[in-house]
Chains A and B, each alone.
Chain A
């Protein structure tokens, strides 16, 4: 089949499903959709369909980015508008099915909104204000097309760019990528075009193209969503890169913790191969290229490029000094281009729309869009794609919907264990590579975690140091020993054993770890501690000087207490929930916590009925009134 025939066939299939005679039900079944219960919803729709005998089609699609509203269902009706429904359960499926699949009632009272392809992007819900702030480029198809059907991708312009690339000179492609200003989406932001050029110019017949999908940053899941929702754009981007640099073999290094992404990527690779977008003589040219999946085995350090290549070679993923850079000596010593999932995913759109179009989005130094994973205490958790230069405030409040409940915003953690915590007065910082670095954080992998007054900054720093300390590969002694020392100090502080000079010691150690480590993991490891000290020094001082945790998180400095005047005497919720029988009823019928038995698990606070709201946390511990329960021995 020629490319034109493939396109014609794909378009016909697409039109019959998305603009056809029968209703089309799209159900988001990416990992987050599944976690929220999407599979029983699929089952319920299939059952209704079988029962009714109505003609309709069900497709499992990826993620639209609205994770907190999962499971999401979109019903596309001929001659009507597509309607999106949120938090769908199997119980409401019959209503939706009768209403909009069989009948003509779009059930607007339980709908989230209408899906219209405003601005050229199929995924756009005009009713949700957050979409006004988004700029969907990589995610334009996510949650709309079936990721396991390559025809859906082709029908939406897929593989046009590869066809175009194969008719261009490799140098012209590299020039185009350079002009677009595309910088690596993995976090460091190295210009992709320059990487490619260095690799092209490097001597040697064998070259490799590697995609870094080892998204190990706890709190980030953009790469997973892209691979689960629209994997073909990554494959097309890699194929273009391979043609540009002269490579014939590629690897996607993906973490084993993402089984669904691996499964969908493998299906996508098989389909691409079958249609001749991978393999020998691609699209009738004399260019050959194939991609293999290499599964990561769980090591955060593998995200560092030199370490990642060691892992593909089947060795311990430990970084090595650069130069030589991978573009000269990478996988098995051969010139290698290594980019992130999202970097490759940008490439087809750049070739289709031109470098001027891409460089027209974003800021002076950072072009294009950025995908962020919004998590933590935000209302609208999920994914957002915005133009570079959008402020943190816009990201957290306009798109993320601000902080949940009545709580007050305290800090935003951006960039994961390599990033930092920024306070409220830094919210006007634009998100781009350079502004964030200046603020002490980094773009990193793009995890944005909002924290409220219930989160302790010292505990957060300790959490990241604990992670980094465990994940340090041990090659550089500053990282191996330094992060352990920093963690020990933070543990002392959160346990109320800190000394005031510890704060300066942390800063000093942090600088040593940064300067003395080889790879990105070590160089950025102190960031969470350094930024929390820089912006929240008062919290450190409260822990050390007053033995008080302002957020009442650190266990050793916090106690649970039942307010006697709020405790409704007859209720036994807390007594039953307490796993260690630390709650007893006193002679007045009021519940009292035996502090010597309490393990501070928080169960009593969770189960105390909201209308009583009698369980509180107190810090320092000395604030707990003497109950008379603790009888002297």
Chain B
């Protein structure tokens, strides 16, 4: 807890000590830690001198906030209208199958996490998948495996080796 407070010092700056900064503070904490651990939400609540329940209420209201860590390569499958019509659901299912995790989950080696997003605004290139900051366009289920190998060739190979040897 003390360590975490230390870590958040450069986010919880005195000039940000106002109720209206709550959402942007949570955004900065999440950017730093990758997610919002319970302790971090309490730290923000203490800093703004508001109840922890208020912070939790805000954090759970908005889609952007997550309460489990993000993978090293966060995978977001777009579920906007254009992507849906172009088969985005099938891409999402293929991704969940390939990574062997559910939407919102993270792989055991913490390499990949999987989320669905409402729309990334690349509708003309539907369906799209975003890994980290990179947008992959015109995805299909067969292209999913290919993509994952491109993103993380070594670690996937290793894990597969481990699987076969174990």
Contacts and interface: CB of A to CB of B under 8 A. Distances in A.
A314 B22 contact: yes
A339 B98 CA distance: 44
A602 B141 contact: yes
B37 to A, nearest CB: 17
Nearest to B140: A606
Nearest to A602: B90
Given A297-B62, A297-B65, A375 B81 contact: yes
Contacts of B82: 218-219, 375-376, 449
B124 A601 contact: no
A230 interface: no
Contact of B142 (A374, A449, A607): A607
Interface residues of A, number: 61
Nearest to A257: B120
Contacts of A300: 118
Contacts of A591: none
B24 interface: yes
A416 B24 CA distance: 28
A204 B121 CA distance: 39
Nearest to A451: B85
Interface in A287-328: 294-300, 311-317
Contacts of B140: 603, 606
B52 to A, nearest CB: 15
Interface string A360-381: 0000000000000111110001
B125 interface: yes
A601 B21 CA distance: 44
Interface in A592-632: 599, 601-603, 606-607
B18 to A, nearest CB: 8
Interface string B134-148: 011100111000000
A21 to B, nearest CB: 36
Contact of A314 (B19, B65, B133): B19
A298 to B, nearest CB: 3
Chain A interface SS verdict (over half): mixed
Contact of A381 (B24, B65, B81, B124): B124
B103 interface: no
Interface in B92-114: 93-94, 97-98
Contacts of A464: 81
A314 B59 CA distance: 11
B124 to A, nearest CB: 3
Contacts of B122: 31-32, 35, 67, 221
A217 interface: yes
A447 interface: yes
B80 interface: yes
A36 interface: yes
B79 A67 contact: no
Nearest to B128: A35
Contact of A224 (B24, B61, B93, B121): B121
A382 B117 contact: no
Contact of B64 (A259, A298, A316, A602): A298
Nearest to A302: B62
Contact of B135 (A34, A297, A413, A460): A34
B8 interface: no
Nearest to B24: A295
A35 B135 contact: yes
Contact of B23 (A32, A314, A376, A599): A314
9 contacts: A219-B81, A219-B119, A257-B120, A297-B23, A375-B81, A381-B124, A382-B124, A460-B85, A599-B93
Given A601-B94, A602-B87, A606-B141, 15 more contacts: A35-B135, A68-B125, A218-B84, A221-B121, A221-B122, A256-B27, A257-B118, A296-B64, A297-B62, A297-B63, A299-B62, A381-B125, A579-B94, A603-B141, A606-B142
